[in-house]
Structures are given as C-alpha cells and as structure tokens.
Amino acid sequence: MDLQRLRYFVAVAEERHITRAAARLGMAQPPLSQQIRILEAELDTRLFDRLPKGVELTPAGAALLEDARALLDAADRAGRRARRVGAGEEGELVGGLTTSAALHPLVPRLLRAFHEVHPAISYDLHESNAAELTEAVLADRLSFGIMRAPVARPPILSMVDLGSERLLAALPANHRLPVRKGRGGLAKIAMTALVDQNFILVRRRAAPGIYANIIEACRLSGFEPRVIAEVGRMLTNLNLVAAGIGVSCVPESMRQIGNHGVVYATLEAPAAAQGLLRAPMTLMHRADESRPAVLAFIAVARRLAAT
C-alpha cells in the first residue's frame, strides 16, 4: 500500500471534502480524486460515500483511517530515526577499553563530552587487554578501542594519540626498599633500587609496548629485571604486588584502586630511560570507519586530546 496515497486518503477523511483536502495538500482536485479511486480499487472496497457537499467515510473507510494514521506515524518515526542515525545523533557505540585506560581521567571526560552533544546514543563497552581489543577492532566486532601503547599498527587501523602519564613503581606495603620523600605525598625511589626485586608485568603479548619499555628502562639503569610473573590484567598485577610476590610499574591513574597492600613511588632513572617510563593513551579505530556516531566520537577524542 503506497504511503503517499494513504496520506491523500487521511487528508480527505479529515477534511470531509476533496477540494479542501486538495488545497491542504497543495495539489489539484482531479489528481487527488484519481488517487482515492486507485486506493479503493486496490482495496476492492468503497472508502467514501459521495455527498452533495463533500464526502463521508464508509465503515471500511473509518477502519482504514485508524490504521492509516498509525502506519503514517510509524513511517514518520522511522524516517526521523534513520536521519538521526545517519547524522550521528542516534545509534550505539560499541567499543572497548583496557583496565588501566578506563581508570585514566580522560576517559570519563571523553564519554561525558560526547554524551552532552549526542545524548541519544547508547553504549556497549567491553573491558579487555590491548591485544584482544586490537583483534576485535580488526574483525569489526568493536568500533574502537582505548588502550595504552598499541600492540600492532596494521594499515587498516588508525591510532589517535590521547597523551600520556608517568609510570609509578608499585611496591608491597611492607617493603623495605630505600624510598625517599617526594612531592605530592608520593615517595620516590631510584630504578636501581629494584635491581634484586621480582618484577610482575602485564604479559608481553597483551601490552608489548609498556612491557618492552619497562625492560629497556631497567637495562638503561644498569640491570636486567627478573620477571617472575606475567599477567593478563593490571588488576591481577596489583594483587600479586599486594601479596608481596614482587614489584611492578603501572600508570599513575592506577593509584585510584584502593588496594591497601600496595604503595606507590615515582621512579628516578637515567635521562635516557625517563621517556620510557611513560604510559601513553591511544584511541584505535579502523581507518575506513564511516559510521557517523563513531566518527563523531573520534572527533571529540581528538578535540580533547588537543586541549
């Protein structure tokens, strides 16, 4: 059933007069009468009784009017929604974050800034490690991933640099290491003081960038770290530190986790190693991304990163 023809029918039914309905629709009366006759032929029933001064709905016409209004309302809603989705004003963001990235203050700022501009867009967010997020974005199961250092840079993926923060030493609360008083309530410790410690790191495959940087920073400090545990998530990492099994290096925002068995200290290292003791923040997405909602999210991320 043609929607435009239904609109003609509703106008005639509401005006109870074909000439007035034609004026309302901005068309001539003969073509409107023809469209009503075509609709009656399609339905094989009479919809109007013709009166000397206008028309009156038949029982079949009255029944059709109720359904026609509902159909037209639904069609209008569908059209409006399609336009909103096409403009990036509505839809769903399906993305992922690593645990440590999710704790960075930039992430809630980004989600809040995007939601203020696009309040009708919903979210389906997943937590995983950087390697798993990369695989999911490559397979288009996720539209984006927010992580620390990228695990791979295939041409099909684009990376947005969101800044970085310093890595801190995570130490068991009952440690006996030579820490000194530092700024902002944080202790500080020399990298060389960790020479005989067991290191617990997020495994190389899950976070190869930070893993490799910590290893290299130790080497530039004059020793080869003894890595006794590799874990899949930084939360597991901190639990092992709290258990007294070893020490680790984690992004500063991980301090938000209230683990009473862990204390933190800034790291002092040779100048050549200082640049390695940073944890980047990276937004990863497909280079061929075309979904308006995702593109709008990326644009907000770029703007926040620039400021």
- The string of pLDDT tens digits covering residues 105-149 is 899 999 999 999 889 888 999 998 888 999 999 999 999 999 988
Q: Indicate whether 137 and 274 sit together in one domain.
A: no
In angstroms, the CA 113 to CA 264 distance is 31
In angstroms, the CA 50 to CA 156 distance is 66
Residues 6+ apart with CB under 8 A from 219: none
pLDDT at site 152: 83
In angstroms, the CA 35 to CA 3 distance is 12
Q: Indicate whether 77 and 107 sit together in one domain.
A: no
Number of domains in the chain: 3
Contact 238, 170 (CB under 8 A): yes
Nearest to 15 by CA among 2, 3, 32: 32
pLDDT at site 1: 77
> Which phi and psi (to 5°) does residue 22 adopt?
-65, -40
Q: Indicate whether 108 and 172 sit together in one domain.
A: no
Q: Indicate whether 181 and 135 sit together in one domain.
A: no
pLDDT at site 202: 86
DSSP class of residue 129? -
Q: Indicate whether 170 and 247 sit together in one domain.
A: yes
Residues 6+ apart with CB under 8 A from 178: 189, 190, 193
Amino acid at 166: R
Query: What range defines the domain where residue 175 resides?
Result: 165-278
Give the β-pairing of 91-97 and 144-147. parallel
Taking 70 as the pLDDT cut, the residues of the chain under it are 84-90, 205-208
CB atoms within 10 A of CB 149: 19
Amino acid at 36: I
Q: Indicate whether 102 and 52 sit together in one domain.
A: no
pLDDT at site 89: 63
Query: 69, 86, 103: which is the final residue of a domain?
Result: 86
pLDDT at site 158: 95
The CATH code of the domain that includes 104 is 3.40.190.10
